[in-house]
Chain A
């Protein structure tokens, strides 16, 4: 934490002498403490999943939805400051609506990614605003490029992914995604044009279960906290190209699949999926104040 006490980390849009914008880096910290979100790009669509911590027994089960719809064919999930996520989604909806008004067709996912990227980036330029405290995973199917998945970070950069994870459990989730996608990929040649998404053999229906498993696995480091899981999908075959929450039965099936594979894992005492997740809390005291060096 060389940033603290230099004075260069107190305002957004200010560079430090070595060329960093600390306020954006701090925004990333808000994301890293957030609940885990996961997205997978499959052969026939995309799937999103998110962990929902049950902070009180008084919460109504199954409500307090986190996954949102940007346009009827695009879904979005995010980790970090949830109200910031709602702000971003509202912007996405405006962009999608304005695109439709002008071009008379649904906004392509890559075009939306570009516009949202610019919007988030603009929030790193001025000291009158703060950056977005979220990393968003969004995607869907469009007529031009089929299933697409993007992850957008607080600095405004976005990348296309075949599997993306963010939030507290991102490291173990990403490790699992890599294994999963490698297993279901016919030919890993990154130079090959994969716009038809032919190389990934995974179907959304199976990915729903895998996402549940990954979120359960990523939650392992946080075991004492109870949680719910929310999963949505968007696929031409399963949802006629619309982004929807998965049906209740499928969710239940996925959860029991996740619990089952996890209990097998515990039996065999697998310990290789554990990464160090406790970064950035060392210099903070009980009140959340920062110790000055």
Chain B
């Protein structure tokens, strides 16, 4: 018989040096609907599949704007994402107010990482149960980051998190060479939409369940919902 005694809290290491509570938090991401992020040398794009609780309910927001140059999409516990995005908004404001400076995407990633790490080393709390794709355009160009509840942050050309995200990832890996060269933001969005299709099961993309965001040099972070996504269906 198997029994795991080492997964009760975040302050217990397993005999092999693993933190099960943190690993379970990573599982929570897979419960959320899929979201895809990708970037070229000019733009960064987010594409997300929204879910509704039932026929009559509205769709859960998947993309959150943090500043004119920065935003994120989420997979997992949406309330946790709101905590993290509010934190990023505060940090963006602080940077603007005190330094007249855009918060760099790299710095944003480190801030999230350090905040998440705290929840994994002390008793009483739990790790965040959400994965984020953070995109932004700063002084060094467009960036895409993947955030995990463990506090790990990765900078990628393309990524996908959430249910069945492996399909999108595999697709992005295959077309990596092509999409990093794309100049036109709409073309880049199309690649993102195509990627997210690889993760669909029963769903079909509609104006109601597709959410898109893009950011670039002369393009502030903009979310496209509803009728605005029709051209990409």
Contact = CB atoms under 8 A, between A and B. Distances in A.
Direct contact of A and B (CB under 8 A): yes
Interface of A: 1, 3-4, 9-12, 22-23, 26-33, 56-60, 63-64, 80-84, 86-87, 90, 123, 127-131, 133, 280-281, 283-285, 287-292
Interface string B6-41: 100011111111111001000000000000000000
A123 B11 CA distance: 10
B1 interface: yes
B139 interface: no
Contacts of B57: none
B130 to A, nearest CB: 16
A83 B151 contact: yes
Contacts of A23: 12-13
A229 B173 CA distance: 22
Interface string B112-123: 011011101111
20 contacts: A10-B6, A22-B15, A30-B18, A56-B154, A56-B173, A82-B151, A83-B114, A83-B151, A123-B121, A128-B122, A129-B121, A129-B122, A130-B10, A280-B15, A283-B15, A290-B6, A290-B14, A290-B16, A292-B1, A292-B2
A58 B16 contact: no
A86 B117 contact: yes
Contacts of A3: 15
A32 B124 contact: no
A291 B173 contact: no
Contacts of B2: 285, 287, 289-292
Contacts of B20: 288
Interface stretch (B45-53, B82-90, B155-163): B155-163
Contacts of B121: 84, 87, 123, 129-130
Contact of B17 (A29, A58, A64, A82): A29
B204 interface: no
Contacts of A22: 15
A129 B15 CA distance: 17
Contacts of A28: 17
A59 B172 CA distance: 12
**Nearest 7 A-B pairs (CB), nearest first?**
A83-B151, A29-B17, A30-B17, A26-B13, A83-B117, A130-B11, A63-B155
Contacts of B151: 82-83, 86
Contact of A280 (B10, B16, B110, B124): B16
B114 A90 contact: yes
Contact of A131 (B1, B13, B120, B155): B13
Given A84-B121, A90-B114, A27 B15 contact: no
Contact of A32 (B3, B14, B17): B17
